[in-house]
Structure 1
Amino acid sequence: MHTPKIGTLALLLLLGASCQPPAQKNHAGASSTTNSTTAKLVDSSSFAALIDQKKVSLYTLKNDQGMSVQLSNFGARIVGLIVPDRNQNPTDVVLGFPKAEMYNNPEEPFFGTIVGPYGNRIAQGKLTIGNNSYDLVKNDGPNTLHGGAKGVHFAVWDAKQENNSVQFTYLLPDKNEGFPGNIKLTVTYTLLPNNSLRIDYQAISDKETALNLTNHAYFNLNGEGAGTIENHTLQLFADHYTPVDSTLIPTGILESVAGTAFDFRQPKAIGKSIQDNTIQLQYGKGYDHNFVLNKTQVDGYNYAARVVADQTGIVMDIYSKEPGIQFYSGNFMNEKVTLKNGKKDSFRTAFCLEPQNFPDAPNHKNFPNSIYKANQLYSSTSIYHFSVE
């Protein structure tokens, strides 16, 4: 079992203090990356566009350790994230598109974006807060997913870049997709010197409302378009998960992962149990479930996940203030779009790990609170730390 680096790593993450990259092992003859060409930054001028009569731009952050992040104000999303592999080859580990217009796609809207005001699913598009009931837009069968059909993922945010950070802000109007309140959203991405990306979330509403923000990046730590992610090794610091019904809405039960295909307490390949004949995997066509973090702590953060790439040796550790993490194994990817490097989004060539509150939490009293009173601040932080082994 990987042991959290209590104190030292967390302090570096919080302060952004300089540090040297982790000591690298000698992997003679090891494959560096499956990309046919070295990962490159997206050209800002080619990416730019007008969407909803607003300018969409690209913002680039770099550090001295070989890491760079490209962000767009369309959806406040991650367009690319380049980190060095075990042989120091730059590898883009996030799927995305070379032009802004390609993100304006209702069939595949969630690549790299911020989702909200309530990320994940709400059952039957019904939200009850106190004595008030709200009908939300249903965009996932009978349910509401990631804030509805035109949530913040299709919004052009205001952006401000300062040094190693980009701050995105957006005012979501009252009753947008049915959600109550004029909701001011602020998301700040900060690239730290130790190859960590920190995402700070804040929101405040003038009406009582449901809030749950997260980022929906699609990762392949072997590189964008580099083939299956089933051989990535995954560890989740979760003793329970929330089983779902046939529409992927939690039943309300917190079920032990012990003895099930959902047991990632020890590192194992994503694909090891993904074909198990269980109804839960059949419902999601693989993993598409919320895991209940067991509060393994790294200086006040929940240690959520650790992923290791089988080919590049790239490691991603995720730390969060959130109580859960949604793991999606790319089950509905179906070569509908072309990525930055010309490859297709083929079946299970990426995974999502989304730190967040539980799906459908407003409708389950035993789930963590997701209802915020008028003028009550919602605040959360998640950190993605990259290294190699």
Structure 2
Amino acid sequence: MELNRRTVIAGAAAAGLAATTLGSAAEAAPGRRPVKELFGTLADGTKVYRWSLENGGTRLGVLSYGGIVQSLEIPDRHGRYANVSLGYDDLASYAAGTTYFGATIGRYGNRIARGRFSLDGTAHQLSVNDGVNSLHGGAKGFNTKVWDVEPFVSGPDTGLHLHCTSADGEMGYPGTLRTKVTFTLTRHGDWRIDYEATTDRPTVVNLTNHTYYNLGGEGSGSIHDHELWLAAGRFTPTDAGLIPTGELAPVAGTPFDFTRPKPIGRDIRTGHPQLVTAKGYDHNFVLDKGVTAEPEHVVTLRDPGSGRTLKIFTDQPGVQFYSGNFLDGTLVGPSGRTYRQGDGLALETQHFPDSPNEPSFPSTVLRPGRTYRTTTIHSFSA
């Protein structure tokens, strides 16, 4: 789906921010074919490659390991490029890490309480890797897989098809799941992600991407001065283990109200019990639009210093906003600088955490004969 000019302008007006004008098809040049280079070798001898994509003023580096976005370069208001995604410059750090920097997440993004759920009367016990809970697919989620990568050029657009298969019972999930994730850089410089999956047994699926953003540039410091708008009048409060309680709480009158753009740091240190529990924001925001047939504008993130702006469009019902609460200064990025609390943030489009155990939440069940499909688009400007 190509975003049209009316959609972008309407969404931007809702956010109280300047609209982005998209170029015409007549202005488009042929897409550039992605470039492949060796990034490193895993302990078992498997080679991991880095694919470099460039189109419409956006540069994207993607690893076959974990479907990881290793770099995302966009210009500021003066045309100066910076990598705005947190990560590493070596494979060993990705293989050893638990931060999910830039990773493709599956089978189930976010948390499932106690790693348990029942489907059609059958109980399933998942891999537990976050205290007593299962997080982002378990101990060996899709972020640890080496994906098969197929580059493509489609008219003025360029991209990658990433494929992986998860066997029946892997990490405790039922069904053999065949997944295809397509990263596209459009002629306008938008980064589009299309997810597809099929199964041979009833299962649950919730795929997302876990890129950490700092629009000032990776290693440049805190994101607390970034301005955030979310089209979400409610959020899902959590217990001490960051599992939703089942309540859909209004954001009005709380630090969780981003229905008008505000700096992330404005309320992050208030004593709200939910912020104390999570050490900042680590919550699912319930998008006002719900599940939609086409992606709609739901997020605007802007760095006043550089002028860089990210707008996110999705068909999903939720966005997990994580403010980098557990970055502790022990990790070093490609800039050679350490990452401390609040040096990056994630905006994960998704269905809600623990949906398999909350019948009132939108369903994440996938059955044989059906195809899981969802799309998220990231649009950049300065």
Is the CA contact (8 Å cut-off) linking 2:23 and 2:188 kept in structure 1?
Answer: no
1:131 to partner: Cα distance: 1.0
The one of 358, 365, 374 equivalent to 1:364 is 358
1:158 is the counterpart of 2:152: no
1:44 to partner: Cα distance: 3.8
Paired residue secondary structure (1:124):
helix
1:14 to partner: Cα distance: 11
Paired residue secondary structure (1:248):
coil
1:97 is the counterpart of 2:88: yes
What amino acid is the match of 2:301? Answer: V
State the partner residue of 2:139. 149
1:62 is the counterpart of 2:71: no
Segments of 5+ residues of structure 1 without an aligned counterpart are 21-41
Structure 1 residues 85 and 120, CA gap change in structure 2 (3 angstroms): same
Is the CA contact (8 Å cut-off) linking 1:124 and 1:144 kept in structure 2?
Answer: yes
1:298 to partner: Cα distance: 10
- How far does the alpha carbon of each residue in 1:213-267 deviate from its partner, in whole angstroms, 9 at most, with x for none? 0000010000001100000000000010000001000000111100000000000
State the partner residue of 2:301. 307
- Name the count of aligned residue pairs: 361
State the partner residue of 2:270. 276
1:15 to partner: Cα distance: 11
> d(CA) in 2 for partners of 1:184 and 1:297?
23
1:119 is the counterpart of 2:119: no
Is the CA contact (8 Å cut-off) linking 2:36 and 2:52 kept in structure 1?
Answer: no
Structure 1 residues 346 and 384, CA gap change in structure 2 (3 angstroms): same
Is the CA contact (8 Å cut-off) linking 2:36 and 2:51 kept in structure 1?
Answer: no
- Taking the TM superposition and a 5 Å limit, the aligned residue runs for 1:228-267 are 228-267=222-261
Is the CA contact (8 Å cut-off) linking 1:96 and 1:111 kept in structure 2?
Answer: yes
- How far does the alpha carbon of each residue in 1:118-153 deviate from its partner, in whole angstroms, 9 at most, with x for none? 100000110210111011111001100000011111
1:311 to partner: Cα distance: 1.3
1:102 to partner: Cα distance: 1.8
State the partner residue of 1:352. 346
Paired residue secondary structure (1:86):
coil
1:193 is the counterpart of 2:187: yes
Paired residue secondary structure (1:305):
strand
State the partner residue of 1:215. 209
What amino acid is the match of 2:61? Answer: Q
Segments of 5+ residues of structure 2 without an aligned counterpart are 11-19, 29-34
1:73 is the counterpart of 2:64: yes
Aligned CA-pair RMSD: 2.5
> d(CA) in 2 for partners of 1:18 and 1:215?
32
Paired residue secondary structure (2:277):
helix
State the partner residue of 2:6. 6
Paired residue secondary structure (1:319):
strand
> d(CA) in 2 for partners of 1:122 and 1:130?
17
1:357 to partner: Cα distance: 0.2
> d(CA) in 2 for partners of 1:294 and 1:147?
27
TM-score (norm 2): 0.89
Is the CA contact (8 Å cut-off) linking 1:287 and 1:327 kept in structure 2?
Answer: yes
1:98 to partner: Cα distance: 1.2
